[in-house]
């Protein structure tokens, strides 16, 4: 099996597609590994990343809501607050009615461009897998991420080991410090309103909603869209309109 040969999920997905054997997605492979572990399997031990954050933490003290060593938002480079360059993101989770299934939202501060990942639960494991997926897709444009203080983001060091990104945390109960993310979450609720159970929501639906919002003109951007600013596209191209 490729995992036992220490292939990464990304290498497996690429190898299967290149050989024509399968078009299995990276997310499917991560899910397969996670379910195998939940069933008592050991596939996760062969991965370089999941094995680090999936280990049981013996003799640990219950410090929910607390984590020493987190970088506070005040430690971010000054360019982050000024929104002068692409690459600085904010992250949060949006809960469903069952208080289990949720959505991971990431918003780039300068452009307002957003990524939405469906999570089966608001846990460190699920959030970290979702974040790794986003980093794989956008790593060239992810320099920093400023998170909410939820414990689901407490394995942030895994991200920093895997990619050249630095993570910061907002002050507890200061949602305005992540204004871009809070604003986007409000827009997202137009599609997934409060009180809605998110258990049946698929990643495909999340991608479709993110695409629609990323192609909605914003006054702050001079009525360009987040997609146009993020990708450096000329006005009109993102909507399929000739110039």
Q: Which residue, among 115, 112, 122, has the nearest Cα to 198 in the 3D structure?
A: 122
Tokens of 70: 């987190």
Q: Tens digits of per-residue pLDDT, 46-72?
A: 665 554 444 444 444 444 456 778 999
Does 127 fall in a domain?
A: yes
In a domain, 241, yes or no: no
Angle at 147 between CA 113 and CA 133, to 5 degrees: 60
Question: Distance between CA 105 and CA 87 in Å, rounded?
Answer: 15
> Residue 19: its pLDDT value, please?
65
- From the list 140, 99, 136, the residue with the least C-alpha distance to 117 is 136
Range of the domain at 78: 73-231
Structure token digits, residue 176? 């305005």
For residues 145 and 197, membership in a common domain is answered with yes
How far is residue 128 CA from its own chain's centroid? 8
Whether residue 13 is found in the same domain as residue 81: no
At residue 54, the pLDDT reads 45
Q: Are residues 139 and 33 in the same domain?
A: no
Residues 206 and 137 in one domain: yes
Please check whether residues 86 and 175 belong to one and the same domain.
Answer: yes
Are 40 and 146 members of one domain?
A: no
> Is 208 a domain residue?
yes
Tell me, yes or no, whether 118 and 185 share the same domain.
yes
Domain membership of residue 243 (yes or no) is no
- Measured CA to CA, the distance from residue 31 to residue 50 in angstroms comes to 11
Task: Check residue 52 and give its pLDDT.
Answer: 46
Report the pLDDT value the prediction gives residue 182, as an integer from 0 to 100.
94
Question: Does residue 49 come out as left (phi exceeding 0), alpha (psi in the -120 to 50 range) or beta?
Answer: alpha
> Distances in Å between the alpha carbon of 184 and those of 16, 161, 179?
36, 28, 9
Q: pLDDT tens digits for 67-109?
A: 778 999 999 999 999 999 999 999 999 999 998 999 999 999 9
Sequential DSSP letters for 70-88:
PPBGGGS-HHHHHT-SS-E
Domains contained in the chain, number: 2
77 lies in the same domain as 160: yes
Look at residue 237 and tell me if it is in a domain.
Answer: no
Q: Domain check: are 148 and 198 in the same one?
A: yes
Q: Is the pTM of this model over 0.75?
A: no
- pLDDT < 50 positions in the chain: 51-64, 237-243
Assess whether 11 and 81 both reside in one domain: no
Q: Are residues 111 and 205 in the same domain?
A: yes
Measured CA to CA, the distance from residue 153 to residue 147 in angstroms comes to 7
* 45, 89: one domain: no
């Amino acid at each position: 099996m490729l995992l036992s040969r220490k292939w990464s999920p990304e290498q497996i997905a690429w190898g299967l597609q290149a050989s024509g054997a399968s078009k299995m997605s990276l997310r499917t492979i991560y899910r397969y590994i996670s379910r195998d572990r939940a069933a008592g399997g050991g596939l996760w031990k062969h991965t370089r990343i999941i094995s680090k954050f999936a280990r049981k933490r013996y003799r640990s003290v219950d410090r929910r809501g607390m984590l020493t060593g987190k970088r506070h938002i005040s430690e971010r480079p000054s360019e982050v607050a000024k929104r002068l360059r692409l690459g600085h993101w904010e992250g949060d989770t949006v809960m469903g009615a069952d208080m289990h299934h949720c959505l991971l939202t990431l918003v780039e501060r300068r452009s307002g461009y957003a990524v939405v990942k469906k999570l089966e639960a608001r846990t460190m494991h699920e959030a970290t897998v979702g974040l790794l997926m986003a980093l794989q897709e956008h790593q060239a444009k992810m320099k920093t991420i400023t998170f909410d203080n939820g414990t689901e983001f407490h394995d942030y060091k895994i991200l920093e080991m895997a990619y050249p990104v630095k993570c910061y945390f907002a002050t507890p109960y200061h949602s305005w410090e992540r204004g871009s993310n809070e604003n986007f979450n409000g827009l997202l609720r137009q599609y997934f309103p409060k009180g809605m159970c998110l258990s049946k929501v698929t990643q495909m639906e999340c991608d479709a909603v993110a695409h629609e919002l990323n192609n909605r003109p914003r006054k702050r951007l001079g009525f360009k869209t987040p997609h146009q600013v993020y990708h450096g596209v000329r006005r009109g191209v993102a909507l399929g309109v000739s110039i």
